[in-house]
Amino acid sequence: MEENTEKAGRVFLYELINFIEDSLVDSHNSYKAIPQFADTPELDTVLEQDPAVIQSNMGFMLPKDDSLEKISSDIRSCRACRLYAGRKNTVPGFGSIKPVVMVLGEAPGAEEDASGLPFVGAAGKLLDKMLSAIGLSRENNCFIGNIVKCRPPHNRDPAPDEQAACMPFLERQIALLDPKAFLTIGRIPGQALLNTKDSLGRLRGKVYDFRGKPLVASYHPSALLRDESYKRPAWEDLKLLKSMLDKLGK
Ligand code: URA
């Protein structure tokens, strides 16, 4: 009861500050993250007790009356960055609507652009195998998505402004899906969610606290297809994620 009142107080204060800021600054077009103010004690306890967990919380947002269908439809009509011009399809993501893990890559490739589905090429097949090794699948308990929902030309890295333009969609997805944990695959999603420029070699092998949820950053399956030496550390990362899920009883 006391906790609820405290949480409501924090939300009220946050909205009041935003209201004042909006009145002072013309922020009509600017994206604003609303923190989740999460109060999931059992997660907090696990994360607080685990010395391997690194604190790294960011904002959170949830428009009123949002839905996954609305997000997908908004993505389909989005022209917020230059990537809309070259797309065949948008790729909002796919998977469980109550995911244990949200898996995030960087951006759709050619096959994803053609089908509108994430990770359907060779890297996607390997990803499915990796996930299934720790009891996860996109059919049952994962949601698979990307930082950017449209294919960058020639599969180049999505530019920072393209990532920023797409981030509100990811924020809305995270808010609705409320996954218990995150797995970022590849440098770009790890850096984007953890708000860092650290190399993936430095980011991987640890558990981060991302808004009160564990986040593990690992290699992209396409890197494993190119270079077998990434397989062992990637497997270590998956085991780390699994150990966090076990601790949470998921
Ligand atoms: N690589 C990604 O990062 N995302 C996809 O959806 C496919 C390949």
Q: Is 146 in the pocket of ligand 1 (CB under 6 A)?
A: yes
What average pLDDT does this structure show over 117-142? 97
pLDDT digits (tens, 9 = 90+) for 153-194: 999 999 999 999 999 999 999 999 999 999 999 999 999 999
Taking residues 136-162, report their average pLDDT: 97
Q: What is the model's pLDDT at position 26? A: 37
- Centre of ligand 1 to C-alpha 119, Å, is 5
pLDDT in tens, 5-38: 665 666 555 555 544 444 443 333 333 333 333 3
Q: In angstroms, what is the span from residue 13 Cα to ligand 1's centroid?
A: 39
| Atom number of ligand 1 nearest to Cα 188 | 3
Q: What is the pLDDT of residue 47?
A: 53
Q: What is the mean pLDDT of residues 73-84?
A: 98
Give yes or no for residue 106 CB within 6 A of ligand 1.
Answer: yes
pLDDT reported for residue 64: 75
CB neighbour burial string for 60-80, b if at least 16 within 10 angstroms, e if fewer? bbeeeeeeeeebbebbeebeb
Residue 167 CB neighbours (<10 A):
17
Query: Using 50, 70 and 90 to split pLDDT, how confident is the model at 247?
Result: very high
Q: Say if residue 89's pLDDT is above 60.
A: yes
**Closest atom of ligand 1 to CA, residue 186:** 3
CA 189 to ligand 1: nearest atom: 3
For residues 110 and 120, give the distance between their C-alpha atoms in angstroms, rounded to a whole number: 10
Identify the pLDDT of residue 65.
Answer: 87
How remote is the CA of residue 190 from the centroid of ligand 1, in Å? Answer: 14
The rounded Å distance from CA 185 to ligand 1 centre is 9
- Cα distances from 40 to residues 3, 66, 99, 179, in angstroms, run 11, 22, 16, 12
pLDDT tens per residue across span 213-225? 999 999 999 999 9
Rounded to two decimals, what is the model's pTM? 0.79
Ligand 1 pocket member 71 (CB < 6 A): no
